[in-house]
Amino acid sequence: MTIRVQRWPAILLAAIVAVSCSARAQEVKAEPGQYDYYLLNMSWAPEFCSTLRTLSPAEQAARTSTECTTPHGFVLHGLWPQNFDGSYPATCATRPGPAHPEQNLDMTPDLSLLQHEWAKHGTCTTLAPDAYFATARRAYSLIKIPDAFQHVTGTQMLPPDTILSMFYAANPAFPRDSFALSCGHNYLTAIEACFSREGQPIACQNIRTCHANVVKVEPQNANGSAQ
């Protein structure tokens, strides 16, 4: 898969972060290392790309690459320290990020998002930058994407429970309640999965999931594969 680096416009990055985080409880201040487990968020890239159509011509011209012409399905948004009470620490310290973040573009195809994830979430761990992203990669690689999401060529309308059942069927080692689904305006935006600090799948605690009757799944562009 060819990765093309995209600089997401700041306003869109903020919006995506807000949508992804809306299902979680409040942000708290904490020292690095003070959290209970990890929440891994995988964004459905076609839904992000559909938001680009709302940009003005000037904003579209300012984009520095064409990542959304290269098909992606579920991509890693981030690995977030999380607490059992539903709160989460953020921006816990000021530490330099990885020297070569581009090494992670195969799972998170945007340098600005990688930098944001380290600053907001990675600094709340005690891990070095490369170790933090290696931890994210291991968790991400454990999740098998259901076949139904490998080649999505047309818009689909699916109940959230049906999508989650697909993920449990594809990942039988994951316990019940270890996956959650995020949606915005009845569109699929992300799948989330919970992991222990040791990297094992666990049941989520105090993580809300989408309660829409059905969600719309945007298709990938032509010739695409999900991952």
CATH code for the structural domain at 10-217: 3.90.730.10
Residue that is written with structure tokens 């449990």 in the block:
168
Concatenated DSSP letters for the chain?
A: ---------HHHHHHHHHHHHTTS--EE---TT--SEEEEEEEEHHHHHHHGGGS-HHHHHH----GGGS--SEEEEEEEEE-TTS-EE---------S-GGGGTTTS--HHHHHHHHHHTGGGSSS-HHHHHHHHHHHHHHPPPPGGGTS--S-EEE-HHHHHHHHHHH-TTSPTT-EEEEEETTEEEEEEEEEETTS-B---SS------S-EEEPPPPTT----
User: Closest Cα to residue 191, out of 48, 75, 85, 111?
Assistant: 75
Half-sphere exposure in the Cβ direction for 111 (13 Å, CA): 12
What pLDDT score was predicted for residue 155?
A: 92
Bridge partners (DSSP) of residue 41 are 78, 192
pLDDT category of residue 221 using cuts at 50, 70 and 90: low
pLDDT digits (tens, 9 = 90+) for 36-54: 999 999 999 887 666 555 5
Question: Is the pLDDT reported for residue 119 higher than 60?
Answer: yes
Distances (CA, A) of 34 to 31, 82, 111, 181, 206: 6, 9, 27, 26, 17
pLDDT category of residue 61 using cuts at 50, 70 and 90: low
pLDDT digits (tens, 9 = 90+) for 17-43: 444 444 446 899 999 999 999 999 999
Rounded mean pLDDT, 159-164:
98
Bridge partners (DSSP) of residue 143 are none
Rounded mean pLDDT, 84-93:
96
Within 10 Å of residue 147's Cβ, how many Cβ atoms?
11
Half-sphere exposure in the Cβ direction for 214 (13 Å, CA): 7
Say if residue 212 is exposed, middle or buried (CB neighbours under 10 Å; 0-12, 13-18, 19+): middle
What pLDDT score was predicted for residue 53?
A: 56
